[in-house]
A = this chain, B = another copy of it.
Amino acid sequence: MEGHPLTTAAEPSTVDPAAVVDLLGVLAYAELTAFDRLAEDARLAPTLEGRAALARMAAAEITHHERLSARLRELGVAPADAMAPFVAPLDAFHDSTRAGTWLEGLVKAFVGDGLATDFYREVAAFLPAEDRDLVLEVLEDSGHADFAVREVRAAIVADRAVAGRLALWARRLVGEALTQSQAVIAERDGLGELLITGSGSLNGVAELIGRITAGHTVRMQALGLNP
C-alpha cells in the first residue's frame, strides 16, 4: 500500500472496534468460502496437475482463515460470531454464481476475488496498523492469479468464441458482487461508517470505487476479455 493516498486519512483512534471485527469477520468467512469454491473447482480440473494446483491454493486460504480467526480470538470475539452476519450474503453470491466449467471457475476466482481483494485492501487502509498489516498479508495472492491468467488465455487462443462467453460471465459476477456488497454495507453500520470516514467524504468513496473499477478493467484485459 506504499503511496496509497488514503493510508493516513483516518486516525486509528477514531476507528470503531466493531468495524474492525466486521472486516476481520467478513474476511474470515470469505476465506472459508474461497476454500470451498477452490476445492469444488479442483474437481473440475482437466488434469491431475491442475487439480493439485487448485487444492494447494484452497489450502492456502485456510491458513489465512486461521490467521484471521486467531486475531479475532485475541480481540475477545469468537470467530463464528464475527463471521455470522456475512454467511447469508456471501453464500447468496456464491450460490448465484456457481461456476459450471473449469474456465468459469478460474474467471470467477480471478475477477471476483480480485474485486473483493481490492475492496478489502481499500478498507484495510483505514484500520490501525496491526490489523491493517494482517489484512494486507492474508490478501496476498497465493499464485492463483497467474495460474488463472495462463489457463484462460490458452483456452481463448484455442477457441476465440470462449472469450465472448467468459466476458458475459464476468459481467454477471460483477453485478452479483455489487448487489451483495451493497446489502452488507447497508446492514453493517460500522463498515459503512468506516468507508465514509476513512475516505474523508462521499467524494472520497467515489474515488475509491473508481480505483476498484480501474483494477477490474486491468484484470479483464490480462485475461484477454472485453471489460
Contacts and interface: CB of A to CB of B under 8 A. Distances in A.
Interface of A: 29, 32, 35-36, 39-40, 42-43, 47-49, 51-52, 55-56, 58-59, 62-63, 65-66, 69, 79-80, 83-84, 87
B52 A65 contact: yes
Contact of A58 (B29, B39, B83): B39
B51 A32 contact: yes
A84 B39 contact: no
A87 B80 CA distance: 36
A192 B58 CA distance: 35
Contact of A84 (B43, B48, B56, B87): B48
Contact of A48 (B36, B48, B51, B83): B83
A39 B43 CA distance: 11
Contact of A36 (B35, B42, B59): B42
Nearest to A84: B48
B52 A63 contact: no
A195 B225 CA distance: 54
Contacts of A79: 48-49, 52
